Each structure stands twice: as C-alpha cells, then as structure tokens.
Structure 1
Amino acid sequence: MSKGPVVILTALNLEYQAVHRKLASPQAHLHERGTRFEVGTAQGTSCRVALGLTSKGNHSAAVIAERAIQEFSPTAVLFVGVAGALWDATRLGDVVVASHVYAYHGGTSEDDGLKARPRVWEAPHGIIQLALHLDRLGDWADSASGQEHAPQVRFGAIAAGEIVQNSRVSAEATWIRQHYNDALAIEMEAAGVAQAGHLNGAPVAIIRGISDRADGTKNSTDDRNWQPQAAANAAAFAIRLAVELAGEQEETVVHRDDSVPSADRLDRHVTNTAHNSTVGIMAGSVTGSSVRMNTAPEEPEPLNLFAALHGFRDSLTRHRAEGDLDQDTYREASADLESAIRSAGEHTSDASKRAAMTLRRLRGLVVECPALMAELAPLIAAAGDRA
C-alpha cells in the first residue's frame, strides 16, 4: 500500500460538496494540466484526503483517476456518489460498496441478439474486509441525518455503463437483468476508475448512495430530495473508510522496525578465542568457553526538544528537496513545525501540550515519508513527557 493521501473522486458537484463538508482546512492543489483538487484532512483526524471532480462518464472518470494516482501516489482511490438501485430490496439512502464492477456495455451483436462480453474488476480484498468491519461497527452514519431509518451498507456488484438508465421495462433494462442480475446498483463511472486503478496498481473502492430506483422516477421531486441524502450517506461511509485506511498505513510505517531487538533481548554471547590469555568479564553465566552477558541498556540522555525540533526543520527541508514531499505538504508541515517550536520554547505545561498536539498533526502530513516519521516519533514522545 502506498504512503500518500486517500484520493476521493466524485462525478457531480452535489457529491463533491458532500465530501468537502467533511474536510478540515482544504487547500487547492492544481495539476499541471489544469485539473483542480483540494487537499485537506478528515475532520478530527490526521487522515489526508485529496478530493477531485471527474464529471459524468467512465471515460472522464478514468482520465481524472489516473491523473490523481500519478499526482498523489494515494493509499487508495475511493469513488463516491449516488446511483440507481436495480432491485427493490435496496432502499433509498442505503450505501452500496462494490464487491466487483461490471463494464456492462461490452458485447458482440449477432444475428440472434446481443451477447454480453463484460470487463470485470474485483474490489481489493483488504478494502472489502475493512468495509465489512466498519459496517459491523455501525458507527459511520451521521446521527443528525434526519432519516427515518438508519442507512444500511450493502455489498455486491455495481454495473457501470455509458447511458443514464431510467427504466425497468426498456430493452436495455431487460438485457441488464438477464446478464447482470446480481448487480445491486447502476451508474456511469465505476468502470473507468476501476480500470485506472488496475493499470496503475492503486486500490480502488466504489461507494454509492442509492438516490433512485432506475425506474422512470429519476429527476422527479422524490429523486431530487433523495440525492443530497444519498450523497451524504456515501460520503460519511467513505470518510470513515479513508480514516481507517490511513490509520492502517500509519501503523505499518511506525511498526516497520519491529524486527529490531528490544532491550530485554540484548543478551550477548561471547566466545573466548584467545586460548592462552585471560579474559576478565562481568557475566551472567559461563558455560565452557561461551559466556552469556546480560547487558542492561544505558539510560538515554534527556532529549533537548527545542534543539531537536530545529534539527527536524533541516530534515524536512532536505526531504522536500529530494522530492519526498510535495510543495503543499511541505508548506503545511513547515507551518505546524514552527508552531511547535514556538510552543516548545515557552517551557510551560500548556505549551508542551500544544506542541505535542501540533506534532501529532504534523505526523499525519509526513506519513508518506518513513524517515521523517521515524525522526518525529521521539519528538512527540518528548513533548508528551513534558506536558
């Protein structure tokens, strides 16, 4: 899994705004070809999210998804928005997480009719497992949504085509039921995003809120009322998933050095190879010519937090020059670091608490750089000890 932010893409501005409302301090990020993203953090967390708008259709979604993957090297790509339900069992407002995506317009036209030749992309196993876990926890939905029934999360196939499907009785609707009767929802972007993720090695999850039943009621008053709620439900689950994905990535970075022996395992073996010499040593035990020495770790000198933070500033600048951090991340990280330095210089308990909180936020910004994460860990610990 990559070390970048979680990318969230939407096709409609209504869907974009539903995600945007859940971000703190979003900052514009302009791609060299003009695509505009906003990068912020999920509110109350250090999870970085890069939000982008693709517009409608699989082709546009594929291009923007690939552009986002190349730009951010994301932990994952989540495509979030509304969709039509193909079966009555899926209620309006429910969220569908794609177990796999059908590009259902692939086929061949023959004398006896149209034969299906779909492309299919399965969702990454780890993401589906995590999504199932979050569904079981049941704490992802907005409590103030005002819905009569709490939205449910459903897992199954999503069909992605090139037309707006708004009928249950048309020839196209009949054909879809014949060939893709396990699909829970239908929309127009998932296939493009799934293909972009496949070609670039990026994990992709498709998360859709059900706003209509693809039965002729699209664009009705009921549909217009449900669209904002369905988009909000999809955004709520997507943000919850993004936070967990970022947390797993951070744990992976922090525990990367677990193979280093701990202090209580620093027992050393010494063998006497100087056969005609005397060896003087304080040992825990001696067997033959082998000596076991129980070595207690030396007490480390107290960390000078103020000086260490100034040293971290140099490391931050160096990693930016080496390309490990993009300019936006470097700018935000530098601002947090300067705030932490000012707090550390005040030598009060409240100031130390502020420094520790700022450094934890800074950790979320540099999670894509393991070297900086490793250097930052003892600084956060030192600030906490002083608080």
Structure 2
Amino acid sequence: MDGGGDRPVAVVCAALNLEYEAARAHLPGPFTEVVRGGTRYETSVHGPWEVVLALVGRENTGAAVQVERALAAFGPQLLLLVGIAGGRRDSRHGDVIAASVIYDYEAGRDADGEFFSRAKSLPAAHRLVQAAQAVSREGQWRRRIQPPPVSEPRAFVAPLAAGGKVVTGVASRTAMLIDQRCDDARGVETEGYGVLHAAYVNKGVDAMVIRGVSDLLGDKTAGNDARWQVVAAGHAAAFAWELLDRTDPDVPAKREAAGVNGGETNIGIQGSGNSGNTIGSVGHVEGDVHVTAAIAPDNRLRAETRLLLALLAEHEREIGTADDEYTDAVDDIRGAAEGKEVRRGRLRSALRSVLGFAGGIVAVHEVAQRILALTESE
C-alpha cells in the first residue's frame, strides 16, 4: 500500500452514506479503520488492490478538500467517486453513467442582465475510459447487482454536468443553462468536478466518476428517492467494482541511477518549510557548477498547494481569470503542487498575487497564508 503497506492503493469515495454503504457491500472484509488528520477511512483488500473507502461529503468544494486529504494520506493510483445522479436526455432510472468528462456548468461571469458562461471540463483518465467502455459493452457488471434487477440497467460512458445546485425540474433556470452549455451531459450531479480537479493536480492518480440514475430531474420526489436512490447507488457500485477488476495496477518504473555527466552540473539547496538540506553529487563533478536556492515541495506543501488550486477553481467566477498576472501565479502554484522545484521568492510572489485577486474569499486567504508560512526562510 502506497500509504504504508505493500499493495497499490485505490480510493473509492462517496458523498452520501447510502452511496458509501453500496460501495462497501462489494468488499468481503475484514475492514481496518484508519484515522488521518481527524478523518476516518476504512481499508480492505480487493484482488491486487488495497481499497480505501472515504466519505467525502457533498458539493464540489467540500468533496475536493476531503479527496485532497485522502490523496495526500494514501498516495493512490486510482480514485473512483461512486454514487447517484439525476438523469438527462434518454436516461432511465437505474442506468449507470461512467463519466468520460465532467462539466463545471456554473463557471462564468454574471454581469448586469446577462450571464456569460465559461463552462469548464475535466476528462476522466484515458485508461479508465477505455476500461469502462469494455465493461459497458460486455455487460458482466450486472451480475454483481444484488438482488438481481427485474429489468437490466444500461451503462453509458458519457459526460456528466456538476454544480452546487440540486436540479429538480426540467424547466428550471439551471436545467436550461445545462441544456445550453452542456447539452451532451447524460446526467447532473454535485461533486464530480471538484473530485476530478483534486486528481488533476496530483501526479500519478487516475480518476473517474461513476453514477447511477436515481431521478430524471422532473420526477424527483421523496417517494421516488426512497425507491430509486439505493437501487441506483447499488448499480453504480457494481459497475465500479467490475471496472476495478478490469484495471491492473501500474508497476513503478525503476529510477535511473545517477551518473556523471559532462557540461553543467546543478547543486540545489533545497528547503522544506523552515528546514533546509544541502544536496549534491558525491564524487567527481565535471563542467560548470551552479548553486540555486529552491523549494523541494514536501508532502504538506504539495497538499496545501493542491487544496489552494481546488479552491481557486471553485471560486473562479468571483476571482475572474483573464488577467495574465493571475494566470502566471496559478501556474507557479501548480508547479509546487506537482512536486516541481520552485524558487522560494517566485512562489511567495505568486501567493501574494493570488491573495490580491481573491478579495474577501476567506478559505483562499487561510490556505495561502499557511503556504506562505511553510515557505518562510530560516
């Protein structure tokens, strides 16, 4: 287990308790409870995988924060968000949608009398899309559904639309916005974009959102929810576990041994928070030697910068993203989130720029200030 054992890790997360229980039902156990940073997880073994179950809560921002914590704690290869969604187009109750793309339909600029949409999208990992298409085509995932369904549900690999609103009417303003901006979305949900964005800023994790259709937007009632939510969550979980079985863990490539090269040699003085370590080559060094001061992001710095990126994406509408200074600052922060060496002064300058654009968004200020504290010189 990347988070502390020998097995590769897959994180399976859900926003609602009924979704969590549907996913958990496919693991035979035993289960081990793990607490990291106050957040509780359950782990168990499934084939070659160490599976981590996580309850991430609702809506994009909250889900992104919790997924960030899970990714930092366990270092998984795979991330699956499993649960329910409202269906669009010709979807039926109980159908499964494995999201090839997630749209953030709420992004845009709200001006006097007019809303200018800037809908954004994030794709699922290519290998998971390929595997999901095979699972959908072959149909064996239905054998995992208990009790067996009266009529066979369908499965689609198609886009989903995600936003903070629960859509309960086909003629609502949000439903019409989705019709205009995300017409090919087969369903609507509330956490997927935040979860995929958390995976996007983490190197080495493949992610996908899998939803069962529990309502058709216009028929969302307490009675229908009681009938279909558990069913839809079970169908999504069945598809997810079939997908997991069809996905082999990556075998980490062996790192090339460091050699002696002619030409330029760089010796980096790397820091992590307030402590620094000098690193260099042992033995003969040929060519010019350059000494640079840089930050080698540790786990906490990477986790904080990833969280900041997720918050910036969530609040894009308030911040606005047309300014080149803001774009350059986000690129520098993304470099730190991806584990690249970033010059201390450059990262601190980027953080200050972002704070200037963020205005009164408290969450952004809190995270940026924590990162500034981590990057303070001795």
State TM-score, norm by structure 2.
0.62
Query: Quick check: 139-148 or 47-56, which moved more?
Result: 139-148
Q: Distance in 2 between matches of 1:206 and 1:32?
A: 24
Q: Shift of the alpha carbon at 1:110?
A: 2.7
Which of 206, 210, 215 lines up with 2:213 in the alignment?
Answer: 210
- Whether 1:23 aligns to 2:27 is yes
Which of 229, 240, 245 lines up with 2:242 in the alignment?
Answer: 240
Name the SS for the 2:196 alignment partner. helix
Residue 33 of structure 1 aligns with which residue?
37
Q: Distance in 2 between matches of 1:123 and 1:134?
A: 15
Q: Distance in 2 between matches of 1:114 and 1:172?
A: 12
Which of 52, 74, 77 lines up with 1:50 in the alignment?
Answer: 52
**Superposition pairs of residues 277-356 of structure 1, within 5 angstroms:** none
- Whether 1:135 aligns to 2:139 is no
Q: Distance in 2 between matches of 1:26 and 1:219?
A: 37
Name the SS for the 1:140 alignment partner. helix
**Alpha-carbon RMSD:** 1.9
- Which runs of no fewer than 5 residues in structure 2 stay unpaired? 255-378
Q: Distance in 2 between matches of 1:51 and 1:198?
A: 20
Name the SS for the 2:28 alignment partner. strand
Residue 249 of structure 1 aligns with which residue?
249
The amino acid that maps onto 1:7 is V
Name the SS for the 2:44 alignment partner. strand
Q: Distance in 2 between matches of 1:35 and 1:79?
A: 17
Max Rg structure: 1
Q: Distance in 2 between matches of 1:220 and 1:29?
A: 33
Residue 196 of structure 1 aligns with which residue?
198
Q: Shift of the alpha carbon at 1:30?
A: 2.9
Provide closer, same or farther for how the CA distance between residues 32 and 220 of structure 1 changes in structure 2, counting only shifts above 3 A.
Answer: closer
Q: Shift of the alpha carbon at 1:113?
A: 1.6
Q: Shift of the alpha carbon at 1:144?
A: 4.2
Residue 328 of structure 1 aligns with which residue?
none
Answer whether contact 2:119 2:181 (CA < 8 A) is retained: no
Superposed CA offset, 1:265-284 (max 9, x none): xxxxxxxxxxxxxxxxxxxx
Q: Shift of the alpha carbon at 1:143?
A: 5.3
Provide closer, same or farther for how the CA distance between residues 219 and 28 of structure 1 changes in structure 2, counting only shifts above 3 A.
Answer: farther
Residue 109 of structure 2 aligns with which residue?
108
Q: Shift of the alpha carbon at 1:145?
A: 3.1
Residue 97 of structure 2 aligns with which residue?
96
Kindly tell me the number of residue pairs found equivalent between the two proteins: 247
Answer whether contact 1:82 1:227 (CA < 8 A) is retained: yes
Residue 181 of structure 2 aligns with which residue?
179
Residue 119 of structure 2 aligns with which residue?
118
Provide closer, same or farther for how the CA distance between residues 76 and 21 of structure 1 changes in structure 2, counting only shifts above 3 A.
Answer: same
Provide closer, same or farther for how the CA distance between residues 144 and 235 of structure 1 changes in structure 2, counting only shifts above 3 A.
Answer: closer
Name the SS for the 1:25 alignment partner. coil
The amino acid that maps onto 1:139 is Q
Q: Shift of the alpha carbon at 1:234?
A: 0.4
Q: Distance in 1 between matches of 2:30 and 2:22?
A: 14
Answer whether contact 1:26 1:38 (CA < 8 A) is retained: no
Answer whether contact 1:47 1:243 (CA < 8 A) is retained: no
Answer whether contact 1:40 1:50 (CA < 8 A) is retained: yes
Q: Distance in 2 between matches of 1:145 and 1:46?
A: 27
Residue 85 of structure 2 aligns with which residue?
83
Superposed CA offset, 1:44-72 (max 9, x none): x3432110101111111101111111111
Q: Shift of the alpha carbon at 1:152?
A: 1.2
The amino acid that maps onto 2:95 is D
Q: Distance in 2 between matches of 1:143 and 1:249?
A: 25
Q: Distance in 1 between matches of 2:224 and 2:11?
A: 31
Answer whether contact 2:162 2:192 (CA < 8 A) is retained: yes
Q: Distance in 2 between matches of 1:97 and 1:189?
A: 14
Q: Distance in 1 between matches of 2:230 and 2:108?
A: 34
Superposed CA offset, 1:205-233 (max 9, x none): 00000000111x32431221111110000
Answer whether contact 1:105 1:161 (CA < 8 A) is retained: yes
The amino acid that maps onto 1:72 is F
Answer whether contact 2:15 2:55 (CA < 8 A) is retained: yes
Residue 285 of structure 1 aligns with which residue?
none
Superposed CA offset, 1:337-386 (max 9, x none): xxxxxxxxxxxxxxxxxxxxxxxxxxxxxxxxxxxxxxxxxxxxxxxxxx
Provide closer, same or farther for how the CA distance between residues 9 and 26 of structure 1 changes in structure 2, counting only shifts above 3 A.
Answer: farther
Name the SS for the 1:150 alignment partner. coil
Provide closer, same or farther for how the CA distance between residues 143 and 21 of structure 1 changes in structure 2, counting only shifts above 3 A.
Answer: closer
Q: Distance in 2 between matches of 1:144 and 1:30?
A: 28
State TM-score, norm by structure 1.
0.61
Name the SS for the 1:200 alignment partner. coil
Name the SS for the 1:23 alignment partner. coil
Which of 224, 241, 249 lines up with 1:222 in the alignment?
Answer: 224
